[in-house]
Amino acid sequence: MFQHRNIPVQTGSGVVKTHRPTRRRSTTTMRKTLKLSALALACSAMMPVAHATNGYMSHAYSPKAKGMAGAGEAALPQDSLSIVGNPATANQVGRRADVGFSWFKPLREYDGLTPNQATGAFAPIGGGATGTGKVESKNNDFLVPGFGYTHPINDVSSIGIAMFGNGGMNTDFRSRDTLFNLGTFGGNNPGANPPPFPGTSMQGAGNAGVNLEQLGVSLAYSRQVAEGLSLGASFLIGYQTIEVKGVGAFQGFTETFTQSVLASQMTSAVTPTKLTDNGQDSAWGFGFQVGGLWDVNPMFSIGASYRTKMYMGKFEKYADLFAEGGKFDLPPVGTIGIAVRPNDQLSLAFDVQQIWYSEVPAIANNNDLALKCDLNAAFGMPSQPGASYDSRYCLGGSKGAGFGWDDMTVFKFGAQYAMNDRLTLRAGFSYGDNPISDEQVAFNTLAPATITTHYTLGASYLLRDNFEMTFWGMYAPEDSVSGPGEFTGGQAPEIKMHQYELGVNFAWLF
């Protein structure tokens, strides 16, 4: 029968040195662990989250898998945060606590367009004399925390807790860098913000950006149900915050505004006050995750997991912006992977991950505002051929405009090599299709999640038999998406990003 094992402890003659978890612990040790857990939880709650690599999902959550580009989270568990990728791994890593931090640096920019009302070219407005110049985001450095703890209950079952984060990178595009100080989305354009109707007022200003932060807590249980086979499940608690700035010029495309104009027969309008620049809003939610891990033999393992959609409360302060009146769930995620150990020192892992962004309307709905939320069409005078008006497709409507993201499939490959009893080296590569189509460039300037490729390196060093440090580095080369598309008037603005990450994790092995 497979016993609990502490995989990270490497040996010169074997890939794994078995580290049996101690069943009893002193009151002092328990108190120290509880204090450590409380400190990590507090730090995680206070720090901004800025992980947007595979869409807005991190390339990995396990510190050791981070050095392998995310490979191994399904079938090669090596630390307590591996339960985020697969809850069945909780009884494979023994009793341990992990606390880590990483410095994350996403560099975002766009090349804009020349605004032209006659052609429908509205956004994104760039810099220079014509508006086609480059504009860079001002927020580029973030500290990202991580925490996990696993605890064996008996010889065949364990529990664990882990905290993980996702985010929208906290973009900040300043209006002073754009043509005539108009702002990326024309927030300082008095002809659009507010619309020329009695009863309206300016919303927000020219500085534009979004700050989406998502924090999840995984409460996992796993059990060995047969020789080499473990099954696990997690209850997930989610908390997210958001702040959006600089989109006041889209008042005329909200359900609130257009319906008020129709009700008044074009004599007045109601300002959508839940569209932009309302400060930070927050929401709680929950989800579930199941997984399995089968050690077929000492050389080969298979793992798989599925995380449901995380059902979140609405962002009430931005009910005029996001589809379904401010609803913003987290998408389902599925992963399947294999691990191969051809000899005592080398381990290889390959994972395939699917992220179903199509399940979240606020993310997946196309931006068809000019075609389906044309107020002129409601009065029999469409602004362009084929344009129509259906309030459901307006901002805040039940089918309201989103970012037009497609589902994303990510392939991850990683390798690790035990140099000796204490030092292990890692490397990895991942690739996933870009979820953003050319036609959806305008809105995605807010959060240009263009990254498709990651290169990683990592290492672990066992300082003492019960204390280990893990390091990793990630580089995501520049990827870009360019138009033309909605609101670009035939022009081809371009959004770009590249990323760096350096991290360290401290592990206590009990």
Residue type at 90 in one-letter notation: A
Percent of the chain with pLDDT over 70: 89
Considering only CA atoms, which of 414, 338, 400 is closest in space to residue 369?
A: 400
- Sorted by sequence, the CB contacts under 8 Å of residue 132 that are 6+ apart come out as 111, 112, 113, 114, 126, 491, 493
Tell me how crowded residue 297 is: count the other CB atoms within 10 A of its CB. Answer: 8
Res. 22 pLDDT band, cuts 50 70 90 = very low
pTM here is: 0.90
CB 252 within 8 A of CB 394: no
- Sorted by sequence, the CB contacts under 8 Å of residue 283 that are 6+ apart come out as 239, 240, 241, 312, 313, 314, 315, 328
- Number of helices and strands in the chain (H, E): 9, 16
In this predicted structure, the answer to whether residue 13 has a pLDDT above a threshold of 70 is: no
Question: Quick check: helix, strand or coil at residue 58?
Answer: coil
Mean pLDDT of 319-331: 96
Percent of the chain with pLDDT over 90: 82
| Cα gap 220→62, rounded to integer Å | 15
Mean pLDDT of 174-185: 96
**Greatest extent of the chain over all pairs of C-alpha atoms, in Å:** 83
Q: What does the buried/exposed string (b/e) look like for 234-272 if buried means 16 or more CB atoms within 10 Å of the residue's CB? A: bebbbbbbbbbbbbbbbbbbbbbbbbbbeeeeeeebbbb
Would you call the peptide bond into 196 cis, given omega within 30 degrees of 0 as the criterion?
no
Cα 116 to chain centroid, rounded:
34
In this predicted structure, the answer to whether residue 472 has a pLDDT above a threshold of 60 is: yes
Res. 56 pLDDT band, cuts 50 70 90 = confident
Considering only CA atoms, which of 192, 204, 183, 44 is closest in space to residue 124?
A: 183
Res. 72 pLDDT band, cuts 50 70 90 = very high
| Cα gap 437→279, rounded to integer Å | 29
DSSP 357: G
Q: What does the buried/exposed string (b/e) look like for 29-39 if buried means 16 or more CB atoms within 10 Å of the residue's CB? A: eeeebeebbee
Taking the CA atoms of the chain, what radius of gyration do you get in angstroms? 25
482-502 per-position pLDDT tens digit: 989 889 999 999 999 999 999
Mean pLDDT of 368-382: 94
Tokens of 65: 């898998």
222-252 per-position pLDDT tens digit: 999 999 999 999 999 999 999 999 999 999 9
pLDDT of residue 44: 46
In this predicted structure, the answer to whether residue 18 has a pLDDT above a threshold of 60 is: no
pLDDT of residue 327: 96
pLDDT of residue 52: 53
130-174 per-position pLDDT tens digit: 999 999 999 888 888 899 999 999 999 999 999 988 765 689 999
| Cα gap 253→384, rounded to integer Å | 15
Arithmetic mean of pLDDT over the chain? 90
Q: What does the buried/exposed string (b/e) look like for 67-87 if buried means 16 or more CB atoms within 10 Å of the residue's CB? A: bbbbbbbbbbbbbbbbbbbbb
CB 336 within 8 A of CB 410: no
